[in-house]
Amino acid sequence: MLIIFDKDNTLIAPCNGRPANTVAEQRLLPGVVEKCAELREQGHVLAIASNQGGVAFGYLTQLEAQVLVRHAARLIGAADWEMCPHHPGGTITPYTQACTCRKPAPGMLHTLMRRLRYTPRNTIYIGDQDTDRQAAQAAGCRFIWASEFFK
């Protein structure tokens, strides 16, 4: 089974009420390490799909966002990751656009499934926002709320 996670507020705790914008600020939420280790031991493949709209608003660069998602992937032992730097309401060109990768669009999920050779039938997406649920639905895979999954 391929288990894809959202990053912020699903795996990584907020920092002072906002997303963690540096590696030093990134802290896994309680229970994430243990659950992800258990999943890997059971033979599941883990991945991350994360909107990083802060890039489109200039809060961080695309490279900084990639470093954050890659770091989170390492923390949970994920095989792969994807991130979307776009936001249609952003202020930084060329990231101010609608795209097929930003959730609720299924682009990141499709990319991960294709690269890791899984189908929607054997993929689960874990997230904390309605856009996560909508992305899973659009990708044809199962969705579980993070609050339920990490109980």
Q: What domains, with CATH codes, occur in the chain?
A: 2-97+105-127+139-149 (3.40.50.1000)
What's the pLDDT tens digit per position in 103-138? 999 999 999 999 999 999 999 999 999 999 999 999
Query: Residue 38 CB: number of other CB atoms within 10 A?
Result: 10
Contact 41, 33 (CB under 8 A): no
Cβ pair 46, 40 in contact under 8 A: yes
pLDDT in tens, 57-97: 999 999 999 999 999 999 999 999 999 999 999 999 999 99
CB 86 within 8 A of CB 50: no
